[in-house]
Chains A and B, each alone.
Chain A
Amino acid sequence: AQSVAQPEDQVNVAEGNPLTVKCTYSVSGNPYLFWYVQYPNRGLQFLLKYITGDNLVKGSYGFEAEFNKSQTSFHLKKPSALVSDSALYFCAVRDRRMYSSASKIIFGSGTRLSIRP
């Protein structure tokens, strides 16, 4: 069964400092991996995805994520945090094999990112 773990409920970072939001996953085979951001009372916005190739994936708003197959991790990173990055972040996983239940997309529990001025 697919699962995603985000071990930190909250991450606090000073503006201008680098940030990391952690994610580990469990899925058979090679998964698709995603990061999303959610602002209060809104739907989720897609940030970036890992499909194949380079383990460092670049996405929207200066975010990037590093895929590590041996550690089954997909941590979200940003070199310099902004106050406007404060939001709820979700990691998600999808099995890439072509059968009906591969359409399932499973999300982690979310990490609240707080950037202080």
Chain B
Amino acid sequence: SQTIHQWPATLVQPVGSPLSLECTVEGTSNPNLYWYRQAAGRGLQLLFYSVGIGQISSEVPQNLSASRPQDRQFILSSKKLLLSDSGFYLCAWSVYEGRPEAFFGQGTRLTVV
């Protein structure tokens, strides 16, 4: 069966510090991978998605970047965090045929202070 791991669960970072959130998927190959941000317990904003290694699509211009160095690894980064980067970050995966739905990790609560 497939599993998704996302860490850390919580993170408190000072303004101006770098960020690296990692997500890995097990039990499937060539998944689509996603990073979403959820502010204040409300809607999910799609930040990045990837259909393959090194292929990153950005949905919203911002202070963040994403990378996919391996097939089942997706990394969200920032060089200098802003207060507005605080939120709940969720990683997810999907495939195309048969199971088009996304499956989510448990999320990372990021607080920038």
When the two chains form their complex, are residues A46 and B101 in contact, meaning their CB atoms are under 8 A apart? yes
Is A108 within 8 A of B43, CB to CB?
Answer: yes
Q: Decide if B25 is an interface residue (CB 8 Å cutoff).
A: no
**In the complex, are the beta carbons of A103 and B101 less than 8 A apart?**
no
| A13 CA to B34 CA, complexed, in Å | 33
Q: Which of the segments A20-28, A62-70, A77-85, A94-102 contacts the partner chain?
A: A94-102
Q: Name the distance in Å between A94's Cβ and chain B's nearest Cβ.
A: 6
Which chain B residues border A49 with CB–CB below 8 Å? Answer: 100-101
A74 interfacial by beta-carbon distance below 8 Å:
no
In the complex, number of A-B residue pairs with CB atoms less than 8 Å apart:
69
Q: Which residue of B lies closest to A51 (CB)?
A: B100
**Chain A's nearest CB lies how many Å from the CB of B100?**
4
In this complex, the interface size class of chain B, counting residues with CB under 8 Å from chain A, is 20 to 34
* Contact surface of B with A, Cβ cutoff 8 Å: 6, 32, 34, 36, 41-44, 46, 49, 51, 55, 57, 59, 88, 90, 92, 94, 96, 100-107, 109
Footprint of B on A, CB under 8 Å?
32, 34, 36, 40-46, 49, 51, 88, 90, 92, 94, 96, 98, 100-110
Other A-B pairs beyond A44-B90, A101-B57, A105-B34, 18, CB < 8 Å? A34-B102, A40-B41, A42-B107, A43-B104, A43-B105, A44-B92, A49-B101, A51-B100, A90-B43, A92-B102, A94-B100, A100-B57, A104-B46, A104-B49, A104-B59, A107-B44, A110-B41, A110-B42
Closest 9 pairs (CB-CB, A-B): A109-B43, A43-B104, A103-B32, A107-B44, A32-B100, A44-B104, A43-B106, A100-B51, A43-B107
